[in-house]
Amino acid sequence: MLPGPPCEVAAQTCFEHATCSTEIRACVCEEFFVMSGDWTKCLPVAAIPYDSACEENTQCSARMGQGSSCLSGKCACKDGFHYLQGMCHKSSGYGEPCIVDNDCYGAFSYESLSCVEQKCDCSEGYYLVGRSYCRRMGNVGEECVFDMDCQFEAGHCESNICVNTAEGSQNVLSFVGNSVSNYSTEITTESPKIELGDACELHEECTAAIENSECFANFCVCTPGYSNFDGSCKPDLGGTCSETGDIDYISRAECRGNILRCKAPYIITQDNRECRIGIGEECEYPYDCVVTSGNVHCVANTCTCLEGFHVTRGDCTPDVKALGDPCLDTTDCTNAIPYSSCISSKCQCSSGYFEDPTADNVCVTVAGIRYGDPSDGLGAGGRGWINGKAKIFLYSTDSRLALGPTQAPIPWVAEVIAPEWFTTHYIAHTVATTHGDDCQEDVQCHETLGQDGGACIDGACACKEDYHFRSDFCREKRVLGEVCEQNSQCYLESKELDRVECRNGICQCGYSYTQTQNLDCSSDTHPPTMPYKEKANLINFYSFQVSAIIAHFSSSLLEL
């Protein structure tokens, strides 16, 4: 209770809803009121905390806590706080410190995180995706978005429902509009017409009544790429369409170029069923704004990234603070650290620039390089030397600090005109041009395979243990369920990389494949590919057998 202006006796008049307290000799407000900042009136406490009308912060904080504020005349939570059970809690993400469960807040979810041993961890029934995002596990018949949500053997997400492809399902949940409806497995005699969610044995039972449906796990569901819109199976966003123009069953969507897509400037939601407003567009409520990471809110009627995040490719990514921080685009790095680039998803000094060991997060370049034949003395060729040039990396004989790529004669010594902290004499090695090239030092492989993943292993350029060679580069292994930006990051131990893809920002099995318990993708209709050598040997074997049989019958005929 905050006191107001001074007073002397109880009978002294203060102002409406205030009385004089003889104990503290000051005007105090009645219950359910708080003192204004200028001590001139008592303001009512916000009865319904969130979104209630207000004039000052204290009207909100009286019930919502110190994390609340009066924003544009309405009670709301400050940035960095979230509203739950009538209070504004300071938001702690995965792995961050907490005191109670309500302190933990994950993207799009209040219940995905719990406070365990004073740190936010995935709640029971949730699993970790990537490094910081917890998703709900789905049992048979429960809703899902990805196959990995159905975390049980033979689990598969079909039309947003977890089904057991080995045993079938006992119950089906199906989306109708924006709600979830529970359908009985019994077909009543009052309504013989087959509907989505009804039991079935043959595909024809479903397709005869519902176009683009199928009988899957003994229930009528929409085929992959289609969803239940008011009882009909219609294409998801990103699917094919034929009639140019607006789409009546998805607001803000259109058919253009035979592809179903969101109109500009709207963006697609993760379930491919809605078009929402993106960064920089007008909004009224926080849920109007959608990006993959979830690090967005509505401020002054504009979709804006949360504090500590910035816009990259339509998403809100963490601000870069130091070399080595993760990035999606080179602009993430250069906006924070001049002369840096996004290399292998980390901010590093650009080619020709090097991290200054005398200062934090500073990229510098050398003044120049001159070359010379050791027998003639350093610098005999000068900077204009052109004969016998080859692409090389220069590195210090002491610190192995890379300085390339550049051009210089091989195998001559090079001197670098550089700051004092550089060792001035360097040795030159040729740069590898492909995976498997001969090498002596890791630096020879970096330009071709990447600085993070490329290395010289047993005299040949190869990928480090946590990387894999795909699309002519060493890329960090992202297993099923981990966050990704492109298909080439996704990895399978089986090396059947055509079966995995980056979909909705997460590595998942392709639509024709099913995730296994050992994080692989399999399909009964896609038998394992036989290695070429084994296939050739098998063909030669059968060819030999056939030739032997023909020869045997030929000799038998001659004897006759």
Rg of the chain (C-alpha set):
33
pLDDT tens-place values along the chain, 560 residues long: 678 888 877 777 788 889 888 888 889 998 889 999 888 899 988 866 677 789 999 888 888 888 888 988 888 888 888 776 667 888 888 899 999 888 887 654 566 788 999 999 988 888 886 566 677 788 888 767 666 778 888 888 787 688 888 764 443 333 333 233 333 333 333 435 788 888 888 889 899 899 998 886 677 888 777 888 888 998 888 778 887 767 889 988 888 777 787 775 566 665 567 887 678 877 877 767 766 566 788 888 888 888 888 887 667 878 899 998 888 778 889 889 998 988 877 898 887 677 776 778 888 765 444 444 444 333 333 332 323 333 333 443 333 333 444 444 433 444 444 444 443 334 445 667 789 988 877 777 877 888 888 999 998 999 998 898 988 889 888 888 888 888 888 888 888 888 888 888 888 888 888 888 777 888 754 444 444 344 444 444 444 443 444 444 344 434 44
- DSSP letters, 28-92, are EEPTTEEE-TTSS-EEEP-SS-TT-B-SSHHHHHHHH-TTEEEETTEEEEPTTEEEETTEEEEPB
Question: Rounded to an integer, what distance in angstroms lies between the CA atom of residue 483 and that of residue 481?
Answer: 7
Task: Output the pLDDT for position 323.
Answer: 92
C-alpha dist (Å) from residue 4 to 46, 160, 258: 19, 58, 68
Strand pairing of 81-84 and 87-90? antiparallel
Question: Rounded to an integer, what distance in angstroms lies between the CA atom of residue 432 and that of residue 427?
Answer: 16
Is residue 516 exposed (0-12), middle (13-18) or buried (19+ Cβ within 10 Å)?
A: middle
C-alpha dist (Å) from residue 365 to 414, 436, 522: 16, 30, 50
Per DSSP, what are the bridge partners of residue 478? 490
CB 455 within 8 A of CB 462: yes
Question: Rounded to an integer, what distance in angstroms lies between the CA atom of residue 481 and that of residue 34?
Answer: 50
Q: Domain-by-domain residue ranges, the chain?
A: 18-83, 137-235, 321-359, 477-522, 530-560
CB 484 within 8 A of CB 501: no
Task: Output the pLDDT for position 275.
Answer: 80
DSSP code of 5?
A: S
Q: Which residue has the tokens 């706080």?
A: 81
Question: Rounded to an integer, what distance in angstroms lies between the CA atom of residue 449 and that of residue 216?
Answer: 44
- Cα within 13 Å of Cα(25), Cβ side: 2
Question: Rounded to an integer, what distance in angstroms lies between the CA atom of residue 362 and that of residue 365?
Answer: 10
Element holding 409 (H helix, E strand): strand 406-409
Task: Report how far Cα 285 is from the mean position of its chain's Cα atoms.
Answer: 23
Question: Rounded to an integer, what distance in angstroms lies between the CA atom of residue 46 and that of residue 469?
Answer: 59
Contacts of 302 (CB under 8 A, 6+ apart): 280, 281, 282, 283
Question: Rounded to an integer, what distance in angstroms lies between the CA atom of residue 53 and that of residue 559?
Answer: 109
C-alpha dist (Å) from residue 264 to 235, 432, 461: 19, 45, 45
DSSP code of 320?
A: P
> Which token pair is 277?
């407003």
Task: Output the pLDDT for position 318.
Answer: 83
